[in-house]
Chains A and B, each alone.
Chain A
């Protein structure tokens, strides 16, 4: 089966009206999202997240590169038959009721009237708008409009969901419900591309993320891999004396005693193993050794602030954070 979302070398250059300025919104972006995967697209304002989504929907043409949905090029309107989209700052016609909104957009997605009649009550129930089904959208709060937007994106039971800030303006309970809904959709095998500034939401919802900066993917992979700091470990051991710590430092390792454990930085896995051998040879007893994880926010801020982004790969070869920290300081 073709991949739900695939993009290769996406490049978008905006040229000003008289051709004097050229702005590269995207520069060779590669993406792929598998069925059942929730993929987060992160980046600061102007990084190219929305441009990427717009290209995937055929709203904007790429200057170079290609993208497809289930193998169908995005330039073909048919590619959007199995796609549900929730744009950021969407404006449903205020004169429509929630029911009419789902009817119009359901039919625009090719559904017949009977299918829409069946689907509407269950969807409105799912997004807690059943009591508002026949109220005009202009009377809805922001959170309600957002939930309606999600229902409209789901009305035709799409296999791919592209969501731009889906929890924007939604209260914490609503956020939780949306998160649950997305997890449920993913469990059904739907591919979800989530574009959000809320890193905590991304961290809780997504399996994989890509971080965009200035139109380039500067990191991409599983959240566990991105947040794992391969060079930093928490070490708990008994019988460690100052001489042993000094010996560690002589090898280039950094080690600090912190609240009953040691914060250990090694160059790589071989270096770490050598340190463990040294520790045992020195008569100390190892009780615990675990990698220290950064939060996604730490990783994101480091990547965005870094002048030159380190190469983060999906294999778990995490970046050298000391270098990033220096940049931050």
Chain B
């Protein structure tokens, strides 16, 4: 256990020393500050009388809008944006964890200690997730506090967005680890994981794609891939649905959450399992 804690700490120390952690939090802070400075709301008797963005008034058609609904709408939309930004930032900050570990002259130092290969790999995976979670807590927590400060509306469901984003990161990071174990390349891991992210998002329209392809085999492959790969687009929608609650649009609210989360979890477990198996059998 001591060894694994040391491994996790070392990842954090590395992230700090290599400016990954600093850049990760600096970008988030910049984002938070811009948001805090840009949005100014005039709230009169619980209703929004005016909005100014970067000092410029936004036309509201002379109507007064419920501030509660506005905040909910904003948080829902913003959570989708955070889903994309949070996931990409996290992968960028953690995809190097396996390739760096496998570098010649480094791996020997770690594997010559009384630590099993699978626990060593999993400790780095856990460290990567902790790093992502810390940033998400900072990013989403700060945004939420700014919203509360500006609007005096408490809407804690916004914080739940972080859970879905972290779940998505866990699935994609598992895949990045798998590619990292096989190729020992951070660049290839990142490219492959981003490719999976976008390709899986396109497959949300697998019904339409299957209908459009000429052969039945191709249609089956498309459907098969849809069920194998993580549901990145649906998870984005699930983030919005979780934040919006009963106010979520019908097409999002009716998501099959079990299928979306279940198949993504299976993808993550399979990727991590395969990465562990390959890592434990690899000759260094």
Given contacts A54-B284, A96-B13, A110-B3, contact A105 B109 (CB under 8 A): yes
Q: How far does the alpha carbon of A93 sit from the alpha carbon of B9 in the complex, in Å?
A: 13
CB distance from A305 to the nearest CB of B (A): 30
Interface size class of A (residues with CB under 8 A): 20 to 34
- A58 contacts the other chain (Cβ, under 8 Å)? yes
Q: Are A90 and B114 in contact (CB under 8 A)?
A: no
- The residue that B284 contacts in the complex, of A60, A81, A108, with Cβ under 8 A, is A60
Which residues of chain A have C-beta atoms less than 8 A from B106's C-beta? 90-91, 93
Which residues of chain B have C-beta atoms less than 8 A from A111's C-beta? 2
- Over the window 108-129 of chain B, the binary record of Cβ atoms lying under 8 Å from chain A Cβ atoms (1 yes, 0 no) is 1111111111000000000000
- B34 contacts the other chain (Cβ, under 8 Å)? no
- A59 contacts the other chain (Cβ, under 8 Å)? yes
List A45-97 residues whose CB lies under 8 Å from chain B: 54, 57-61, 77-81, 83, 85, 87, 89-93, 95-96
Q: Are B113 and A108 in contact (CB under 8 A)?
A: yes
Q: How far does the alpha carbon of A100 sit from the alpha carbon of B6 in the complex, in Å?
A: 11
Q: Are A95 and B17 in contact (CB under 8 A)?
A: yes
Q: Are B114 and A78 in contact (CB under 8 A)?
A: yes
- B247 contacts the other chain (Cβ, under 8 Å)? no
- B107 contacts the other chain (Cβ, under 8 Å)? yes
Q: Are B6 and A107 in contact (CB under 8 A)?
A: yes
- A130 contacts the other chain (Cβ, under 8 Å)? no
CB distance from B20 to the nearest CB of A (A): 11
Which residues of chain B have C-beta atoms less than 8 A from A58's C-beta? 111
Given contacts A87-B105, A95-B18, contact A107 B284 (CB under 8 A): no
- Over the window 156-169 of chain B, the binary record of Cβ atoms lying under 8 Å from chain A Cβ atoms (1 yes, 0 no) is 00000000000000
Q: Are A89 and B6 in contact (CB under 8 A)?
A: no
Q: Are B104 and A80 in contact (CB under 8 A)?
A: no
List A95-149 residues whose CB lies under 8 Å from chain B: 95-96, 100, 103-105, 107-112
- Over the window 162-176 of chain A, the binary record of Cβ atoms lying under 8 Å from chain B Cβ atoms (1 yes, 0 no) is 100000000000000
- A152 contacts the other chain (Cβ, under 8 Å)? yes
Q: Are B13 and A108 in contact (CB under 8 A)?
A: no
Q: How far does the alpha carbon of A162 sit from the alpha carbon of B108 in the complex, in Å?
A: 12
Q: How far does the alpha carbon of A162 sit from the alpha carbon of B3 in the complex, in Å?
A: 21
Q: Are A108 and B6 in contact (CB under 8 A)?
A: yes
- B10 contacts the other chain (Cβ, under 8 Å)? yes
Which residues of chain B have C-beta atoms less than 8 A from A89's C-beta? 104-105
Given contacts A77-B114, A81-B114, contact A93 B10 (CB under 8 A): yes
Q: Are B114 and A80 in contact (CB under 8 A)?
A: yes
Which residues of chain A have C-beta atoms less than 8 A from B6's C-beta? 103-104, 107-108
Given contacts A80-B114, A85-B112, A95-B18, contact A107 B3 (CB under 8 A): yes
CB distance from B76 to the nearest CB of A (A): 41
Q: Are A83 and B18 in contact (CB under 8 A)?
A: no
Q: Are B105 and A77 in contact (CB under 8 A)?
A: no
Q: Are A152 and B113 in contact (CB under 8 A)?
A: no
Q: Could you give 9 example pairs across A and B, Cβ below 8 Å?
A: A57-B111, A77-B114, A77-B116, A87-B105, A89-B105, A93-B106, A108-B2, A109-B3, A109-B114
Task: Please give me the 5 A-B residue pairs with the lowest Cβ-Cβ distance, nearest first.
Answer: A95-B17, A107-B6, A91-B105, A85-B112, A87-B108
17 additional contacts (CB under 8 A) given A60-B283, A90-B106, A107-B5: A54-B283, A59-B107, A59-B108, A78-B114, A80-B113, A81-B114, A90-B108, A91-B104, A91-B105, A91-B106, A91-B109, A95-B13, A104-B9, A108-B2, A108-B110, A109-B3, A110-B114
